Chain A
Amino acid sequence: MFWEIDFVQPVIELAGLTVCFGKREILKDLTAALSGRTLGLLGPNGAGKSTLIQTLLGFCPVAGGTAKVFGRDVRDHLRSIRAQIGYMPENDAFIADMTAVTFVRMMGELSGLPARAALERAHEVLFYVGLGEARYRKLGTYSLGMKQMAKLAQALVHGPRLLILDEPTNGLDPSARQRMVRLIRDIRDSGQMHILLCSHLLRDVEETCEEVLILKQGQIVHYANLEEERRTNKRFVELETSGDAAPLAEALAQLGCAYTPAGVGRYKIVLPEGFNLREIFRVAVERDLPLRRLSYRRDTLEDIFLKAMEV
């Protein structure tokens, strides 16, 4: 399968990428070219999402094929690729006895910033992620939410062109999660970097990403351009009647709706553009069919994901 998005300047290009741990193939012959501003990486546990990220960072050796970031092969130009990447790992990643400002400054310096600039940037990004008041506290004393923000700060300090976020909302309470998602959207909207977001939480990806790549058992099973999906996706209702719902479904079909049975007495009705929901009630009254349930929905990422998982 070859998921073609844009050939102008692909951020990530995979061509038959295979990665093995020992004799086990973790990523199998991945081929894709991604050039969107925010890319979502989805998949169940063990699908190979983190391995793909680690391969792009040069942590995992490439067993076959190629992986390119900004047109440069990770095997030949690792140093220059890493200079353009900001990475926020999934697991704990900090130095407990360092203050946030020292930690972020050191990471900035290691990315090539001069000491003075790194200090300035450390203060700036810590304020940006909301840790301004706590920047002189040791990281070991931070709450989980604060540690996540500190990880984001160190990934941003050197002004990368690609920000890789591995499960950024892991373990966050709802308000902290909202803050994180807001920040990701803000970074996206600043237009200064691409974002690769890997998450189990479909809502996070749906709220922040323009494109989604779904992995399953080390293979790409689906690519979706969420922007396009949002524009074209279908509105539908799930309805349930007390009696036989078939006459109601047929009547709605005459009004331009499409329908599919979804169990005994239940139908999924796909609504045409500009369809007024009141029409359903009118037809139900005409046919004397009491409606037991009617839920209005749009195709969500969850539907796309579940469909992809069935492949």
Chain B
Amino acid sequence: MAVYKQTYKDYGGRRTASWSRFLILMRYSYARVFQSRFLVLFLALCFFYPLGCATMIYLSHNSPVLAMLRLQPDALPPIDGSFFYEFCVVQGVLALLLTAFVGPSLIAPDLANGGLALYLSRPFSRTEYVAGKMAVLLVLLSLITWVPGLLLYAIQASCTGWTWIKPNLWLARSLVLGPLIWIGVLSLIALALSAWVKWRIAAGACILGLHFVGAGFAQAINEILRTRKGSLINSSEVIHTIWASLFDTSRSTDLSVTQAWIVLGVTCLLSLGLLARRIRGFEVIK
């Protein structure tokens, strides 16, 4: 802009639809998140296991290749609920690690220097702000959980045909629902912690701590008090219980499905409460 033109000019152009504004936040968050090479590398690593599973499905339907590799057909696990359950368990752990890496950088930088007042003084609500930030995690975690899971299902379906799809249609539903529950809970916990712990490394440590320390405490409580109720604070036990019921596996669990759902519900409500208290345009200093 030429120096002589440096006077204030109004804007009279077109405006975008207000419903789509949360996507702007998502776009800018991705730009910031993907500046890290480590994240790109880690994300690539997250696709190794699904690739292995795809290879396994392919091999289980190709006797000539198996014979060439001198493998017996029964050496490979059957492609059933347990197979997809294991897939969810592995990708679920990777999702947790990815959340611990990405989650803290979502809200903390906005809060650190009072940026929230600028977001919320615009035609942009607190809900849209949380939705925009949450969408970053939801999309990223979906890419490594239920999306490849569904692809595996499609590969298996294409190899076996309608005879396998018809009795296993429920597996597709479980493959979407199971990981979605986990990434929803993870996203809410990560956002809540990111809003309360301004230091990124500490927030990341808290996310991992909640999971692993919680599991340790749960084990200790179970051993000392000779009970199973300690598992209520073990997040992996809680989600495995739900997945086991969704994938109809014979895995024995410490909790009932109802208890697991209640724990997840309480965790989500708690996270939303923490977010509601923190995501504000101003701070009241008492």
Residues in chain A within 8 A of chain B (CB atoms): 21, 50, 54, 57-60, 79-80, 82-83, 85, 87, 89, 91-98, 102, 106-107, 109-114, 117, 121, 123-124, 127-128, 132, 151, 154, 156-159, 186-187, 190, 192-193
Q: Give every chain B residue within 8 A of A159 (Cβ-Cβ).
A: 9-12
Return 18 A-B CB contacts under 8 Å, by A number. A59-B282, A79-B125, A82-B124, A87-B121, A89-B117, A91-B117, A93-B114, A93-B118, A94-B113, A109-B21, A110-B119, A110-B122, A113-B16, A117-B11, A127-B6, A159-B9, A187-B8, A192-B10
- Is there an interface contact between A109 and B18, defined as CB atoms closer than 8 Å? no
- Is there an interface contact between A95 and B115, defined as CB atoms closer than 8 Å? yes
- Is there an interface contact between A111 and B123, defined as CB atoms closer than 8 Å? yes
- Is there an interface contact between A87 and B112, defined as CB atoms closer than 8 Å? no
User: Does B109 count as interface, using CB distance less than 8 angstroms?
Assistant: yes
Can you add 19 more A-B contacts, CB < 8 Å, to A54-B281, A59-B121, A190-B7?
A: A59-B281, A80-B123, A82-B122, A85-B121, A87-B117, A93-B113, A93-B115, A94-B115, A94-B118, A95-B110, A102-B28, A110-B21, A110-B122, A113-B13, A113-B16, A114-B13, A117-B14, A158-B11, A193-B10
Q: How far is the CB of B157 from chain A (nearest CB, A)?
A: 40
CB-nearest residue of chain B to A140: B113
A222 to B22, CA, bound (A): 42
A102 to B114, CA, bound (A): 17
Across chains A and B, which 5 residue pairs bring their CB atoms closest together, nearest first?
A159-B11, A112-B15, A59-B281, A87-B121, A93-B114
Q: Give every chain A residue within 8 A of B114 (Cβ-Cβ).
A: 89, 91-94
A186 to B6, CA, bound (A): 11
A82 to B122, CA, bound (A): 5
CB-nearest residue of chain B to A151: B118
- Is there an interface contact between A123 and B115, defined as CB atoms closer than 8 Å? no
A54: contacting residue among B12, B24, B25, B282, CB under 8 A: B282
Given the known inter-chain contacts A79-B18, A95-B110, A96-B109, please indicate yes or no for A112 contacting B10, CB distance below 8 A: no
- Is there an interface contact between B8 and A128, defined as CB atoms closer than 8 Å? yes
- Is there an interface contact between A114 and B25, defined as CB atoms closer than 8 Å? no
Q: Give every chain B residue within 8 A of A111 (Cβ-Cβ).
A: 122-123
A92 to B10, CA, bound (A): 26
A117 to B13, CA, bound (A): 8
- Is there an interface contact between A95 and B21, defined as CB atoms closer than 8 Å? no
A79: contacting residue among B31, B123, B282, CB under 8 A: B123
A113: contacting residue among B6, B15, B113, B282, CB under 8 A: B15
Interface size on B, residues (CB 8 A): 38
CB-nearest residue of chain A to B12: A159
A121 to B8, CA, bound (A): 11
CB-nearest residue of chain A to B28: A106
A123 to B110, CA, bound (A): 22
A124 to B8, CA, bound (A): 9
Q: Give every chain A residue within 8 A of B16 (Cβ-Cβ).
A: 109, 112-114
A247 to B123, CA, bound (A): 67
A186 to B270, CA, bound (A): 49
Q: Give every chain B residue within 8 A of A109 (Cβ-Cβ).
A: 16, 21, 24
Q: Give every chain B residue within 8 A of A83 (Cβ-Cβ).
A: 15, 122-123
In B117-133, which residues have CB < 8 Å from any A CB? Answer: 117-125
- Is there an interface contact between B11 and A113, defined as CB atoms closer than 8 Å? yes
Q: How far is the CB of A63 from chain B (nearest CB, A)?
A: 14
- Is there an interface contact between B123 and A57, defined as CB atoms closer than 8 Å? no
- Is there an interface contact between A107 and B118, defined as CB atoms closer than 8 Å? yes
In B71-86, which residues have CB < 8 Å from any A CB? Answer: none
A80 to B264, CA, bound (A): 37
User: Does B266 count as interface, using CB distance less than 8 angstroms?
Assistant: no
User: Does B228 count as interface, using CB distance less than 8 angstroms?
Assistant: no
Q: Give every chain B residue within 8 A of A187 (Cβ-Cβ).
A: 8
User: Does B224 count as interface, using CB distance less than 8 angstroms?
Assistant: no
A21 to B31, CA, bound (A): 38
- Is there an interface contact between B9 and A124, defined as CB atoms closer than 8 Å? yes
- Is there an interface contact between B280 and A110, defined as CB atoms closer than 8 Å? no
User: Does B173 count as interface, using CB distance less than 8 angstroms?
Assistant: no
Q: Give every chain B residue within 8 A of A151 (Cβ-Cβ).
A: 118
- Is there an interface contact between A156 and B113, defined as CB atoms closer than 8 Å? no
- Is there an interface contact between B113 and A57, defined as CB atoms closer than 8 Å? no
Q: How far is the CB of B7 from chain A (nearest CB, A)?
A: 7
Max chain B C-beta neighbours (<10 A), residue from A93, A102, A187, A193: A93
- Is there an interface contact between B8 and A186, defined as CB atoms closer than 8 Å? yes
- Is there an interface contact between A96 and B21, defined as CB atoms closer than 8 Å? no
Q: Give every chain A residue within 8 A of B118 (Cβ-Cβ).
A: 87, 89, 93-94, 107, 151, 154
